Structure 1
Amino acid sequence: MYDMVISQAQVVNEGCIQVLDVAIQGERIAAIAPDLSQAACKQTLDAQGRYLLPGMIDDQVHFREPGLTHKGDMATESAAAVRGGITSFMEMPNVNPLTINAQALEDKYQRAQGRAHANYAFYLGASNDNLEQIKSLDPKTACGIKVFMGASTGNMLVDDPRVLEEIFAHAPTLVVTHCEDTPSIHALEAEYRAKYGEDVPMAYHAKIRSEEACWKSSSFAVDLARKQGTQLHVLHLTTARELALFTAGPIANKQITAEACVHHLFFNEEDYATLGALIKCNPSIKTAADQAALLQAVVEDRIDVIATDHAPHTWEEKQHTYFKAPSGLPLVEHALPSLFEHYHAGRLSLEKIVQKTSHAVAERFQVQARGYLREGYFADLVLVDLNANSPITHENCHYKCAWTPFAGQTFQSRIEATWVNGQLAWSQTQGLAPAQGQRLQFLR
């Protein structure tokens, strides 16, 4: 007997959309077929007219725990994530203390256990002096090694070329990079401070965190990876120029892959006029031409993955002047709905969205039995109504920081329900269930 049959859903999976029934037994997908109406089951959900997708696997979030929990924590941000159809997350190391050794890494797994509403994994961070920790890392214990090759919060900037060479040469698993050139940024900061003082207009963030700063760092990372044979994933591209560094086509067998984030696909520098510091992030949101190039690169598979870089700060922190207002914005609850806006506008297909948010992430990070709707895989699912308008306000978002850059938007789609490991994690009708996320396993 199946625990649940989701019937007559428009199933979006592996490049196709088909009307299918999906049966869940325990934690797994037990059957996928055109008609399971005769099967014995404890519960049936009629999904006719709605779309069933594999849950989003977000490979880049900052949930702020430990040490920064006034902004967010494992429980609050993962609860917002499942409301947005994200069923697994990979969390970054620039917390306090930094996740730069095996002990700090294991501490984060312990913190997530029993509190994370979505499945979880954590990065080991690189620094200028933890090379031996990186070399000794068991590849199955971390989703990857995070290298900040540019200005960053948390004192994690790796700016010693010899250390970078060693990390790229000896990394036992995937290296992921934040690429911006620090000297270029510092020079422009000084130039704009001399002109405007501390209160630089927020629109100049795109000029200070410039195209050149991104290019110098990302091209260096790609060259280094080619030289050393490193498995490299470059995070949050923001410029048309950088796209020339990456190859179009399927992700299979790529050594070097690229990512875009939902806010860089949704906003451009014209939005600083109304949103100001609320969309200040690193790397910066840039021109409308860059935004269009990123979207086209998603279509042609030059960009392999779409993520969030969810990075909450309090409303009060965001009210400061340019140099004091922190970079980052909360995104996990609204990431998939914002991507569906590109579907409604004819820019991205549903199949492409699923490929970039689920399939490709599972492939790149070698996630075990997730990222697809397949019999025997974990039942990490999201049900979407593509015809339900959703007004977005600060008051109806669920981040600990209690604000969203999408406030004032009305999305044309709505997340109806999210299942994590076969259990209903959240739904419009039943609300939030107790946390049931599991530690992600990797086929390495």
Structure 2
Amino acid sequence: MSNQTLIKNAKIVNEGQITEGDILIEDNLIKEINASISAKSADVKVIDAEGNYVFPGMIDDQVHFREPGLTHKANIETESRAAIAGGITSFVEMPNTNPQTTTIEKLEEKFDIASKSSYANYSFMFGGTNDNLDEILKLDPKAVAGLKLFLGSSTGNMLVDNPEVLEKIFSSTDLVISVHCEDESTIRENLAKAKAKYGDDIPMELHPVIRSEEACYLSSSQAIELAKKTGARLHVFHLSTAKETALFTNKIPLKDKKITAEVCIHHLWFSDKDYQTKGSHIKWNPAVKTADDREGLWKALLDGRIDVIATDHAPHTIEEKDKTYTTAPSGGPLVQHAFVALLEAYHNGKLSLELIAQKTAHNPAILFDVEKRGYIREGYYADLIITDLNNPWTVNKENILYKCGWSPFEGNTFKSRITHTFVNGQLVYNNFKVLNVKAGQRLTFDR
């Protein structure tokens, strides 16, 4: 006997339009979408959406869930739990764990952990280094999201700084190569100047001066040049400057783009003015920069030069974050609050609901060739979220689900909330309550 759930009276946000109707889920999949569907038996579970909006679940292409090795900060179980509460039904996790995900063996160990503990669907990036090309060439493109290269100092010995190795990697793989772009020598020079003046207690507002526009642009422009030279499929993570947006095009459809870009919630929300009140709690790499940069990122997001919105969720304990500039790590938790932050932008007239669905679900699915996810379509996996656009709530310690227990949005009141999350057809979150259902599956890729 199959399990069926019927979502009634929904406003369905999908593929550039909003339609009113019902969605029938059978087991893992969307069975039917229609203007009106009747429950065929008493066994069908009926959920009345009451005119609220149903979106495809967000596919977050960049998270750091800290497992293995850094689990005092977070783990796959805790952060995937926070993710489904935030409308993120699938995630791609980064390789800078301990040990790092730079061998097939370590990659499979992470898949094994997730298979037992993840509330959301999962995949992992494989980390490129100066000396693991042989392992990269063994990867099965259908089984892994892609390749991650750090071209900046965020992760110590995962920095790929050998030009010959870089060119060889770019030339040798058909996988999507995702890059963190900040020029290491520029940052070191800027940091040395700041340390000479302030010692270790550098004012936090100098973070975007140290990790400067120049450092970002120099690195991203070089990566793009190399991608053009080698024909590689390049995805530039977390753009933070208006200047970089000029490197990307909106003249061709996403499926035909060889070079794509992502922006993260924090670079769309905060600016350098916020360091005065938020301090290290908004210290990310790349840095949150000026209000003009933020506006430039919004412009590129809206005109199609930036393809995807993600979180770069990267939790640290509050004790770690509250250290001085040189010892406070960069990164912060975001998966629980990213989607409602985007709905805030909708309320402020900056972003349509259709575009939110496109940039958080459709486009990541296209960009990474994710199989049967990212859309509300018959025959696709039922990864869905129901959102109430007018039901305000305030972020506080009691409702934060991250293992680290804090959020850069603490004290912020959001107008919208996620009322239900479905992963593979199973209700996993309902009105501020995470259900004890680990329905996440390993993502597969149509390559």
Fold match by TM threshold 0.5: yes
Check the 8 A contact 2:160/2:166 in 1, yes or no. yes
Deviation at 1:43, TM superposition (A): 1.3
Deviation at 1:4, TM superposition (A): 1.0
Aligned partner (choices 141, 144, 148) of residue 150 of structure 2: 148
Superposition pairs of residues 29-68 of structure 1, within 5 angstroms:
29-37=30-38, 39-40=40-41, 42-68=44-70
Q: Does 1:276 align with 2:279?
A: yes
Aligned partner of 2:134 in structure 1 is 132
Q: Does 1:15 align with 2:16?
A: yes
Deviation at 1:154, TM superposition (A): 4.5
Which residue type is aligned with residue 22 of structure 2? D
Deviation at 1:313, TM superposition (A): 0.1
Check the 8 A contact 1:211/1:239 in 2, yes or no. yes
Aligned partner of 2:205 in structure 1 is 203
Which residue type is aligned with residue 9 of structure 2? Q
Counterparts of 1:334 and 1:240, CA distance in 2: 24
Aligned partner of 2:254 in structure 1 is 251
Check the 8 A contact 1:114/1:437 in 2, yes or no. no
Check the 8 A contact 1:147/1:176 in 2, yes or no. yes
Counterparts of 2:182 and 2:421, CA distance in 1: 36
Counterparts of 1:38 and 1:9, CA distance in 2: 15
Aligned partner of 1:334 in structure 2 is 337
Q: Does 1:385 align with 2:395?
A: no
| Structure 1 gap segments, 5+ residues each | none
Instruction: Name the SS for the 2:116 alignment partner.
Output: coil
Counterparts of 1:155 and 1:62, CA distance in 2: 17
Counterparts of 1:149 and 1:20, CA distance in 2: 47
Aligned partner of 2:362 in structure 1 is 359
Check the 8 A contact 1:137/1:172 in 2, yes or no. no
Deviation at 1:429, TM superposition (A): 6.5
Counterparts of 2:212 and 2:188, CA distance in 1: 11
Aligned partner (choices 344, 347, 350) of residue 344 of structure 1: 347
Instruction: Name the SS for the 1:246 alignment partner.
Output: coil
Counterparts of 1:258 and 1:75, CA distance in 2: 28
Instruction: Name the SS for the 1:337 alignment partner.
Output: helix
Counterparts of 2:128 and 2:371, CA distance in 1: 25
Instruction: Name the SS for the 2:420 alignment partner.
Output: strand
Instruction: Name the SS for the 2:158 alignment partner.
Output: coil
Aligned partner of 1:419 in structure 2 is 422
Deviation at 1:257, TM superposition (A): 0.3
Check the 8 A contact 1:175/1:232 in 2, yes or no. yes
Superposition pairs of residues 13-412 of structure 1, within 5 angstroms:
13-37=14-38, 39-40=40-41, 42-249=44-251, 250-412=253-415
Check the 8 A contact 2:205/2:279 in 1, yes or no. yes
Check the 8 A contact 2:6/2:39 in 1, yes or no. no
Counterparts of 2:274 and 2:60, CA distance in 1: 25
Counterparts of 1:298 and 1:179, CA distance in 2: 18
Greater Cα offset, 35-44 or 179-188 = 35-44
Deviation at 1:296, TM superposition (A): 1.2
Deviation at 1:39, TM superposition (A): 4.0
Counterparts of 2:100 and 2:336, CA distance in 1: 26
Counterparts of 1:433 and 1:47, CA distance in 2: 22
Which residue type is aligned with residue 326 of structure 1? P
Which residue type is aligned with residue 271 of structure 1? D
Deviation at 1:203, TM superposition (A): 0.5
Deviations 1:176-229 (A, max 9, x none): 000000000000000011111110010110111100000000000000000000
Counterparts of 1:172 and 1:124, CA distance in 2: 13
Deviation at 1:260, TM superposition (A): 0.1
Deviation at 1:151, TM superposition (A): 1.0
CA distance 1:388–1:61, change in 2 (3 Å): same
Instruction: Name the SS for the 2:170 alignment partner.
Output: helix
Which residue type is aligned with residue 169 of structure 2? I
Counterparts of 2:397 and 2:359, CA distance in 1: 28
Instruction: Name the SS for the 2:72 alignment partner.
Output: coil
Check the 8 A contact 1:424/1:433 in 2, yes or no. no
Instruction: Name the SS for the 1:155 alignment partner.
Output: helix
Deviations 1:361-414 (A, max 9, x none): 000000000000000000000000000101011332000000000001100100
Which residue type is aligned with residue 7 of structure 2? I
Counterparts of 1:217 and 1:135, CA distance in 2: 25
CA distance 1:402–1:48, change in 2 (3 Å): same
Which residue type is aligned with residue 233 of structure 2? Q
Check the 8 A contact 2:65/2:74 in 1, yes or no. yes
Instruction: Name the SS for the 1:176 alignment partner.
Output: strand
Check the 8 A contact 1:318/1:326 in 2, yes or no. yes
Check the 8 A contact 2:144/2:444 in 1, yes or no. no
CA distance 1:363–1:27, change in 2 (3 Å): same
User: Please, what TM-score do these two structures have when normalized by structure 2?
Assistant: 0.98
Which residue type is aligned with residue 242 of structure 1? E
Counterparts of 2:77 and 2:214, CA distance in 1: 38
RMSD: 1.1
Identity %: 54
Counterparts of 2:162 and 2:411, CA distance in 1: 44
Counterparts of 1:35 and 1:372, CA distance in 2: 20
CA distance 1:323–1:375, change in 2 (3 Å): same
Counterparts of 2:44 and 2:433, CA distance in 1: 17
Counterparts of 2:51 and 2:206, CA distance in 1: 45
Check the 8 A contact 1:30/1:376 in 2, yes or no. yes
User: Please, what TM-score do these two structures have when normalized by structure 1?
Assistant: 0.98
